[in-house]
């Protein structure tokens, strides 16, 4: 298919057309012309949208679907369609399925299901067999099959020697190790942030210390072994500080935080709404301020939606019993744009590709078309009608958003809302 994007403002600092409003001709998946005005020819689908902006395709480093094992929550096909209509051309898919993605065959299953899709699916392989935290999984074989990183989703590596061996072993093939930041012996049976709110609500707390001890331990191990470590979804001020100092030492460490940890505090739990039950738990305004500063100075490499569909039977139950997680693909852009502004939002939605070894595509002639389409203006309140996912467990219903996503052009295909 051939497409002509009309009057599109480019947000791409690597492009010679940055901040210019141009027409963009895409033929057979490649940008063949960019000019002030391009006349549409036969066989070219013309795309016009109000206040159309484009950028390099967005990447989400932590996405969960349900297939295989939890198809009632989200299938791969439907989930990728949600990602496309949310503006993402690439996602990293977590290994929290049944069976766990812990071998080359399971990686091949995922890549096969996503073949010929507009959205690029990059599997994350489990670091340990069945994500049980005991034996290291077949990391090299999984990388050869298409895995871009290795980690046990939302499960901390309790054995420090296991992480040490993983960091040493993956250096043989330039692998990236993920380590979830939680010391389980400290977090215990907590279900929310341990602070004033947990006392008021009578809920068991997870102190910031549980995250920070694990981050500090992992950074000590990284300094000893070398290798590449990614710490996903940090949530505390001290974690930002620890990672900043590690980067200043020259360690190859990267990290992400989530949209909900940037915008929501533990005060949301006053209603005992289980949609706000996430892991790590929502923290305080002080932590949000530190996370925002970490984004500004580059300590935090990327922001993720940490999209995790949960079926109603496991979410709309007593708070203590509810599963952790919120969906977030649909609300990610509008929420981030409202607090960060368009330039920083696009930066944090695209720069994570480099950490995970994914090749970006500058918006320029003769380059592959890997483009997100959006309107950065216009305020609205996110509601259930905006949810595209099969599961509806969103922590953002009723929250203010800025801007609208139109869709993507990627892999020679265009998907628009």
What is the per-residue pLDDT across 296-308, written as a single tens digit (0 to 9) for each?
Answer: 999 999 999 999 9
**What is the torsional sign of CA 41, 46, 50, 51?**
negative
Q: What is the pLDDT of residue 249?
A: 97
Q: What is the pLDDT of residues 341-376, one digit of tens each?
A: 999 999 999 999 999 999 999 999 999 999 999 999
**Confidence check: pLDDT of 336 > 90:** yes
Q: What is the pLDDT of residue 55?
A: 98
Q: Which CATH architecture has domain 59-355?
A: Alpha-Beta Barrel (3.20)
User: Coil, strand or helix: which one is 291?
Assistant: helix
Kindly state the average pLDDT of the residues 15-42: 96
Contact 372, 90 (CB under 8 A): no
Q: What is the pLDDT of residues 123-149, one digit of tens each?
A: 999 999 999 999 999 999 999 999 999
Kindly state the average pLDDT of the residues 203-215: 98
**Confidence check: pLDDT of 1 > 90:** no
Contact 300, 240 (CB under 8 A): yes
Q: Determine the Cα–Cα distance for residues 338 and 334; give it in Å rounded to an integer.
A: 6
CATH superfamily for 2-53+364-416 is: Urease, subunit C, domain 1 (2.30.40.10)
* pTM, rounded to two decimals: 0.96
Phi, psi of 349 (to 5 degrees): -85, -10
Q: Determine the Cα–Cα distance for residues 75 and 269; give it in Å rounded to an integer.
A: 30
| Mean of all residue pLDDT scores within the chain | 97
Q: Where are the domains of the chain?
A: 2-53+364-416, 59-355
Q: What is the pLDDT of residue 114?
A: 96
Q: What is the pLDDT of residues 62-95, one digit of tens each?
A: 999 999 999 999 999 999 999 999 999 999 999 9
Q: What is the pLDDT of residue 237?
A: 98
Contact 279, 211 (CB under 8 A): no
Query: pLDDT over 70 for what percent of the chain?
Result: 100
Q: What is the pLDDT of residue 147?
A: 98
Q: Determine the Cα–Cα distance for residues 198 and 339; give it in Å rounded to an integer.
A: 27
**Confidence check: pLDDT of 40 > 90:** no
Q: What is the pLDDT of residues 214-271, one digit of tens each?
A: 999 999 999 999 999 999 999 999 999 999 999 999 999 999 999 999 999 999 999 9
**Confidence check: pLDDT of 23 > 90:** yes
Tell me the two tokens of residue 277.
């039950």
Q: What is the pLDDT of residue 215?
A: 98
- 76-85 helix and 104-113 helix, angle to the nearest 10 degrees: 60
306 is catalytic: yes
**Confidence check: pLDDT of 396 > 90:** yes
Q: Which of 306, 347, 366, 370 is catalytic?
A: 306
Q: Determine the Cα–Cα distance for residues 73 and 392; give it in Å rounded to an integer.
A: 9
Contact 417, 406 (CB under 8 A): yes
Phi, psi of 277 (to 5 degrees): -85, 105
């Amino acid at each position: 298919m051939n497409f002509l994007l009309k009057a599109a403002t480019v947000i791409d600092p690597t492009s010679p057309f940055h901040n210019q409003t141009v027409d963009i001709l895409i033929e057979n998946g490649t940008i063949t012309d960019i000019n002030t005005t391009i006349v549409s020819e036969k066989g070219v689908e013309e795309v016009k949208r109000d206040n159309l902006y484009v950028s390099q395709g967005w990447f989400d480093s932590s996405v969960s679907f349900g297939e295989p094992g939890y198809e009632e929550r989200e299938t791969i096909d439907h989930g990728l369609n949600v990602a496309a209509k949310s503006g993402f051309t690439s996602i990293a898919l977590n290994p929290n399925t049944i069976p766990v993605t812990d071998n080359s065959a399971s990686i091949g299953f995922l890549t096969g299901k996503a073949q010929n899709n507009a959205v690029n699916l990059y599997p994350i392989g489990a670091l340990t067999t069945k994500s049980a935290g005991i034996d290291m999984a077949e990391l090299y074989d999984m990388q050869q099959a298409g895995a871009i990183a290795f980690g046990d989703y939302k499960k901390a590596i309790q054995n420090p020697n296991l992480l040490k061996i993983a960091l040493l072993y993956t250096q043989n093939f330039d692998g990236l190790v993920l380590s979830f930041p939680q010391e389980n012996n400290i977090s215990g049976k907590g279900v929310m942030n341990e602070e004033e709110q947990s006392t008021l609500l009578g809920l068991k707390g997870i102190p910031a210390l549980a995250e920070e001890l694990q981050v500090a331990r992992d950074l000590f191990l990284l300094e000893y072994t070398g290798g590449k470590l990614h710490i996903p979804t940090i949530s505390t001020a001290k974690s930002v500080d620890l990672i900043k100092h590690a980067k200043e030492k020259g360690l190859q460490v990267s990290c992400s935080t989530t949209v909900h940890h940037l915008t929501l505090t533990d005060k949301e739990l006053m209603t005992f709404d289980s949609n706000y039950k996430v892991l790590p738990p929502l923290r305080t305004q002080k932590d949000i301020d530190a996370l925002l500063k970490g984004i500004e100075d580059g300590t935090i490499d990327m922001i993720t939606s940490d999209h995790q569909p949960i079926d109603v039977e496991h979410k709309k139950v007593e708070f203590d019993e509810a599963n952790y997680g919120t969906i977030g693909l649909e609300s990610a852009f509008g929420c981030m744009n409202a607090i960060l502004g368009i330039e920083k939002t696009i930066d944090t939605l695209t720069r994570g590709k480099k950490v995970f070894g994914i090749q970006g595509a500058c918006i320029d002639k003769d380059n592959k078309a890997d483009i997100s389409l959006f309107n950065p203006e216009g305020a609205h309140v996110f509601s259930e009608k905006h949810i595209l996912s099969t599961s509806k467990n969103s922590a953002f219903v009723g929250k203010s958003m800025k801007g609208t996503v139109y869709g993507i052009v990627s892999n020679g295909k265009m998907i628009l809302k």
